[in-house]
Chains A and B, each alone.
Chain A
Amino acid sequence: MRLDAGGLIDRSRPMSFRFDGRAYGGFAGDTLASALMANGVRVVGRSFKYHRPRGMLTAGSEEPNALVEVLEDGQQTPNVRATVQEVFEGLSAQGQNAWPSVRWDVMEVNDLLSPFLSAGFYYKTFMWPRAFWEAIYEPVIRRAAGLGRLSGRHDEAAYEKAHAFCDVLVIGSGPAGLMAAQVAAQSGADVILAEEDARMGGRLLADRGMVDGQPGVDWAAGVVAELATMPNVRLMTRTTVTGAYDDGTYGALERVGLHVAPQPNLPRECFWRIVAKQTVLAAGALERAIAHPSNDRPGIMMAGAVRAYVNRWAVAPGKRVTVFANNHSARATVRDLIAAGVEVAAVIDPRPDAPDEPGTRVFKGARVVGTKGRMGLKEITIDHEGRAFRFETDCLALSGGWNPTLHLTSHLGKRPVWRADIAAFVPGDNAVPGMIPAGACNGDFSTAACLAAGQAAAVRALSVLGIKPADIALPAAEDDATDMTPLWAVEGKGRAWLDFANDVTVKDVKLSAQEGFSANEHMKRYTTQGMAPDQGKNSSIGALAVLADTTGKGIPETGTTTYRPPFVPVSIAAMGAGARGMGFAPQRFTTSDQASRDRGAPMIEAGMWYRPSYFPKPGETTWREACAREVAMVRGNVGVADVSTLGKIDLQGADAARFLDFVYTNTFSTLPVGRVRYGLMLREDGFVLDDGTSARLADDRYLMTTTTAAAGLVMRHLEFVHQAFCRDFALRFISVTETWAQFAVAGPRARALIASLGIVQNLPFMGVASVMVGGVQGRLFRISFSGEEGYEIAVPARYGAGLFRDLVARAETMGGGAYGMEALNVLRIEKGFITHAEIHGRTTAFDIGMAGMVSAKKDCIGKAAAQRPGLNGPEREQLVGLRPQGDVAISAGAHLFNPGDEAKRENDQGYVTSVGPSPTLGGYLGLAFLKDGRARHGATVRLVDHLRGIDVLCTVCDPVFHDRDGGKMRA
């Protein structure tokens, strides 16, 4: 019920929202949890395994029960913690893991079966038959037990990622964090203050303590207002630091737009990478429960959360509240409830010497041993001095003490350390270099201790940075001891939950120990404790204590599991912000792109490049028709293609020739100026890296071309060889791929077309010359990837678009035209030229028939490794040509078998790498790797493509189908 006054909500800004299809009202400043509570909604979710009705347990991001699906425009985001989701006008959410609703859930039958569903049940029951696990058991179990559903649609919303740098990162804005930020900021350091909540202040927002003579919440607001005016401070609310990584790097998730209705361009979340020279961890502490029988009913919640709901959101979690706590801090809950006009039925305090409490009755040395109320707490039973008492109560405020929120300190592998005096784990020493834990996360629980620790941490951080700390007086605040006597679990009839989210009980942990899974890491995996979205924040220490009790080992001996990132669930969409769909990779466009599209060419992706597949003419209905025409055009007339995507590297220096001799298998130092040579490059392991041509432009200057696919790879390889093996060479090189637009002009009339440009060059085959193209300085190469007389003409990229249109227009007046990737591929297959379909990383120079290109007169990268046994011989699959026997299509990826052999792996003879329909020779041609293939020309092999259902006999032949002696390209 909403209280009449108080709270940090803005009652002048009412908000309407929907939950499970019903309309409710809340106020600005409400979370979904506080607003639902204000509306009397107690059941907000169903538990994972038993489908038990569940209500809010906490008021923070650690919430294990109140997980909901937020709905927007056909999308649904599961596992949203209602305690984190802020209410906004139009918010729509629904309970999850329930059907048809959280109030009436048919899977509740699981709860009746609970005696059979203890830890390990599935492993034991569904062992046999083995194959049934993946196919039948697991899918069925997964459908019954789950934590929310996705929409199944692409998440097309905007997400963001960002990088930030600072001198001091302060994580958490409670008293310790605010104090640290204030000292660091006033000393002149660049400060980032990250706070998970929508509002800065931490526990000061939930408690009524005084700081510096004013209510803590006012003191916090004052400090935040001052920080907000400082240019060296970045205040980040709604930002959870999720992970600590090397060198002061932290991951953080900011909820940018999740607290308002979706807006165009507004990111839902931003994933930050923050690099901090020093970090103050002021993450506070999480209250821990006491595992008493039937402790999971809606209405049972943490005592600190009850205070938060009362003080911050002006909501009474019940009409008649009982407090069950083993410590002093929970007494504030009693006082705050009474101050708010809520009846406190009793305090159940297990400490025999517990103090009295004005305004209510204290049962000292007592425990809660049972509860009633299916859809919400109605009654509790306590054991007091051996006698059972029953109380009517609709809210039980629970506190078993506080666990420091030290998760980030474990992210680099350091284990927390047990402190017996406060019965809690604290961060290990120097757990994360540069990170200083301060305040409650370090075991200092009082407000005064937190303020002092925050100040001390900032001073320490500043001294590392060499910054003189500003002199700021420490404000006065309460300094009460927590005075806690550990109580982890209460014996009694009925299940006592430890992990609410994954439905793990005290009995499950005991069973785990009995069955031999007595190490903490084993128990966790056997019971699934700590593996839900809250990652054990509410349960790990309690489960550990129960385990330690069961095995008879102490808590420190049993030890915690180490916490790993992320601290809270992080959506993959935020980490991958911007990389969805076309954002996955850059798009690279050639200078001829628009001209190709203007001619109706379908563009295909080749790496990141977009290249024309073919240039359709009126009347052509398939790619094959266009491709056949374009091939015939090149073979019979002249064609133009953009080949700018090939990698181009300008190498200069007195040692450039020496360097090329080292990286290529063949010799380039003997290449005359003005000539081009084909070269083959090996990796250090002896396999083929790439091929291409290099032109000698001057004595000390070469222009290397690489394949499109390996342009970056070759550049990296050259850098490595240069820096690692040839660092003293007089050599410098740089990519000029993007600088030049380059077009192939191929066919028997190519020379005529070049001449029509006014370029009169009687270039020999494999020659290069500097030429004027119009008034522009360009280069002309005589090289051929088609097998016809071929030229490549290069101009600075700005002239590429213009030159391409000009070349194509000239070709068309001659009866030729542009050709695309399909024709280019068929032309090179007809000629037996390889691409990365053939030099795919597992083939050697021997395999592709180029062993002779590995010079015997010199060493080169990969030469020694290529001579290893098994890389040169009849056992190798060698490059061959294939022609199907009959007019049928064959496919790349098909495998080869001896005729008569069964088409199975053991009989594999090789595989097909490239195929194409050849208008020149008629029918399909293929390039393939076949065992001892060069000795099998003329033989018949069986080609089988299991995927496409192709099974045909082929004749093995030489891979060069067309113009084997090369007379045409040398013409």
Chain B
Amino acid sequence: MPEPIATPALDHPPFARGGATLALADPGPMTSVAPFPGQETAVNAALQGAGLGFPAPNRVIEGQGARVVWTGRAQAFVIGVAAPDLTGLAATTDQTDGWVALTLAGPSAADILMRLVPLDLRPGAFPPGHAARSGLNHLPLILWRDATGFTLMTFRSMARTAWHEVETVMDATEARAGLAARA
């Protein structure tokens, strides 16, 4: 048979409103890396060999067109490149198709997210290079911030709800701004 047709989790043009832009992102291949007990240093060294590294909790390590994002206890995602061979050092699992990634950028991005994410996202508390495992309202969330803004990842099956949640807050943020402008 021919190769099956690939379908994205969601198909939306970017949505700009309320001082921010929401867009679908394709971060590329994604592999979870979970070092086995005692192998943390070796895993870190192997990832450093690839120009990356194993991040501390709540951090992102950026490399050439790729990044390693902390995603939980003894777990990080290598995103944007194939993970190096870590046989015997870490459990690696392909996660590419399990997640939908959205970017939210613009002057109101943090104000919008503070309506959905129960974290301190002030620049001092969550600057570029920081990551968190949290909730996007009631959706599971992997969140990180880089120089361009926030990236939000949630389960692929929940992509439509995720988009709707953020879009709703952006609409409200725009309505609030309109109110402030008139006052």
Q: Taking beta carbons and an 8 Å cutoff, which residues of A are in contact with B?
A: 158, 160-165, 190, 256-257, 260, 263-267, 273, 275, 578-579, 585-591, 608-609, 650, 652-654, 728-730, 732-740, 756-758, 773-776, 795-803, 806
Q: Are B118 and A273 in contact (CB under 8 A)?
A: yes
Option from B7, B95, B155 in Cβ contact (under 8 Å) with A801:
B7
**Would A158 and B172 be within 8 Å (CB), given that A728-B37, A732-B91, A798-B8 are in contact?**
yes
Which residue of A has the minimal Cβ distance to B71? A734
Given A162-B115, A609-B157, 4 more A-B residue pairs with CB atoms under 8 Å apart are: A265-B172, A591-B7, A738-B97, A806-B1
CA distance A737 to B93 in the complex (A): 12
Least CB distance from A106 to B in Å reads: 42
Which residue of A has the minimal Cβ distance to B100? A738
- Complex contacts, B178 vs chain A, CB 8 Å: 263, 266
Asked whether B12 is an interface residue with its Cβ less than 8 Å from the other chain, the reply is no
The 0/1 profile, CB within 8 Å of A marked 1, for residues 162-183 of chain B is: 1001001101101110110000
**Would A799 and B95 be within 8 Å (CB), given that A266-B179, A267-B172, A588-B157 are in contact?**
no
CA distance A729 to B2 in the complex (A): 43
Q: Are A738 and B168 in contact (CB under 8 A)?
A: no
Q: Are A773 and B1 in contact (CB under 8 A)?
A: yes
- Complex contacts, A799 vs chain B, CB 8 Å: 3-7
CA distance A165 to B171 in the complex (A): 23
Least CB distance from B71 to A in Å reads: 9
- 8 Å CB interface, B107-126 against A: 114-115, 117-120, 122, 124-125
Which residue of B has the minimal Cβ distance to A777? B94
- Complex contacts, A579 vs chain B, CB 8 Å: 138
* A-B residue pairs, 5 tightest by C-beta: A802-B5, A732-B91, A652-B91, A732-B34, A802-B4
Q: Are A797 and B90 in contact (CB under 8 A)?
A: no
Asked whether B21 is an interface residue with its Cβ less than 8 Å from the other chain, the reply is no
CA distance A653 to B88 in the complex (A): 8
The 0/1 profile, CB within 8 Å of A marked 1, for residues 2-19 of chain B is: 111111110000000000
Which residue of B has the minimal Cβ distance to A577? B115
Q: Are B3 and A775 in contact (CB under 8 A)?
A: yes
Least CB distance from A200 to B in Å reads: 13
Least CB distance from B50 to A in Å reads: 20
CA distance A82 to B174 in the complex (A): 29
Option from B35, B125, B172 in Cβ contact (under 8 Å) with A266:
B172
Least CB distance from B46 to A in Å reads: 16
Which residue of A has the minimal Cβ distance to B18? A265
Q: Are B97 and A801 in contact (CB under 8 A)?
A: no
List 17 A-B pairs, Cβ < 8 Å: A190-B124, A256-B179, A263-B179, A266-B175, A578-B137, A578-B165, A578-B168, A588-B158, A732-B91, A733-B91, A738-B97, A738-B99, A739-B94, A774-B3, A796-B94, A797-B97, A802-B5
CA distance A163 to B111 in the complex (A): 9
Which residue of B has the minimal Cβ distance to A775? B3
Least CB distance from B68 to A in Å reads: 15
Least CB distance from A264 to B in Å reads: 7
Least CB distance from B8 to A in Å reads: 7
Q: Are B91 and A653 in contact (CB under 8 A)?
A: yes
The 0/1 profile, CB within 8 Å of A marked 1, for residues 68-107 of chain B is: 0000001100000000000000110111111100000000
Q: Are B122 and A734 in contact (CB under 8 A)?
A: no
Q: Are B99 and A266 in contact (CB under 8 A)?
A: no
Option from A586, A739, A801 in Cβ contact (under 8 Å) with B5:
A801
Q: Are B91 and A776 in contact (CB under 8 A)?
A: no
- Complex contacts, B91 vs chain A, CB 8 Å: 650, 652-653, 732-734
Q: Are A163 and B114 in contact (CB under 8 A)?
A: yes
The 0/1 profile, CB within 8 Å of A marked 1, for residues 136-161 of chain B is: 01110000000000000001111111
CA distance A798 to B8 in the complex (A): 6
How many chain B residues sit at the interface, stated as a range, is 35 or more
CA distance A760 to B180 in the complex (A): 67
**Would A802 and B175 be within 8 Å (CB), given that A162-B114, A730-B37, A757-B1 are in contact?**
no
CA distance A215 to B36 in the complex (A): 70
Which residue of B has the minimal Cβ distance to A260? B179
Total A-B pairs, Cβ < 8 A: 150
Q: Are B160 and A587 in contact (CB under 8 A)?
A: yes
Option from A267, A589, A609, A775 in Cβ contact (under 8 Å) with B160:
A589
CA distance A264 to B168 in the complex (A): 11
- Complex contacts, B97 vs chain A, CB 8 Å: 738-740, 796-798
CA distance A256 to B175 in the complex (A): 10
- Complex contacts, A802 vs chain B, CB 8 Å: 4-7
Option from A164, A586, A773, A803 in Cβ contact (under 8 Å) with B139:
A586
Least CB distance from B155 to A in Å reads: 5
- Complex contacts, B162 vs chain A, CB 8 Å: 586
**Would A734 and B93 be within 8 Å (CB), given that A266-B179, A586-B161 are in contact?**
yes
Least CB distance from B106 to A in Å reads: 17
Q: Are A738 and B155 in contact (CB under 8 A)?
A: yes
- Complex contacts, B125 vs chain A, CB 8 Å: 165
Q: Are A163 and B117 in contact (CB under 8 A)?
A: yes
Option from A737, A739, A806 in Cβ contact (under 8 Å) with B96:
A739
Q: Are B7 and A758 in contact (CB under 8 A)?
A: no
- Complex contacts, A160 vs chain B, CB 8 Å: 115, 169, 172
Q: Are A734 and B34 in contact (CB under 8 A)?
A: yes
- Complex contacts, B172 vs chain A, CB 8 Å: 158, 160, 265-267
Q: Are A803 and B160 in contact (CB under 8 A)?
A: no
Most B CB within 10 A of own CB, among A165, A260, A265: A265
Option from A162, A265, A801 in Cβ contact (under 8 Å) with B175:
A265
CA distance A163 to B132 in the complex (A): 16
Q: Are A163 and B118 in contact (CB under 8 A)?
A: yes
- Complex contacts, A590 vs chain B, CB 8 Å: 157
Q: Are B98 and A264 in contact (CB under 8 A)?
A: no
- Complex contacts, A734 vs chain B, CB 8 Å: 32, 34, 75, 91, 93, 95
Q: Are A267 and B4 in contact (CB under 8 A)?
A: no
- Complex contacts, A265 vs chain B, CB 8 Å: 171-172, 174-175
CA distance A609 to B74 in the complex (A): 30
Which residue of B has the minimal Cβ distance to A257? B179
Least CB distance from B115 to A in Å reads: 5
Most B CB within 10 A of own CB, among A158, A739, A774, A803: A739
Most B CB within 10 A of own CB, among A165, A256, A736, A758: A165
Which residue of A has the minimal Cβ distance to B39? A730
Least CB distance from B137 to A in Å reads: 6
**Would A263 and B175 be within 8 Å (CB), given that A165-B122, A578-B165, A802-B6 are in contact?**
yes
Option from A266, A730, A758 in Cβ contact (under 8 Å) with B36:
A730
- Complex contacts, B156 vs chain A, CB 8 Å: 738, 797
Q: Are B3 and A776 in contact (CB under 8 A)?
A: yes
Which residue of A has the minimal Cβ distance to B139? A586
Q: Are A739 and B160 in contact (CB under 8 A)?
A: no
- Complex contacts, A609 vs chain B, CB 8 Å: 157
- Complex contacts, B95 vs chain A, CB 8 Å: 734, 736, 739
CA distance A163 to B99 in the complex (A): 25
- Complex contacts, B155 vs chain A, CB 8 Å: 588, 738
CA distance A608 to B160 in the complex (A): 13
- Complex contacts, A578 vs chain B, CB 8 Å: 137, 165, 168
CA distance A264 to B98 in the complex (A): 35
CA distance A733 to B124 in the complex (A): 34
CA distance A190 to B117 in the complex (A): 20
- Complex contacts, A795 vs chain B, CB 8 Å: 4
Q: Are A163 and B1 in contact (CB under 8 A)?
A: no
Which residue of A has the minimal Cβ distance to B34? A732
Which residue of B has the minimal Cβ distance to A723? B73
- Complex contacts, B114 vs chain A, CB 8 Å: 162-164
- Complex contacts, A163 vs chain B, CB 8 Å: 114-115, 117-119
Which residue of A has the minimal Cβ distance to B95? A739
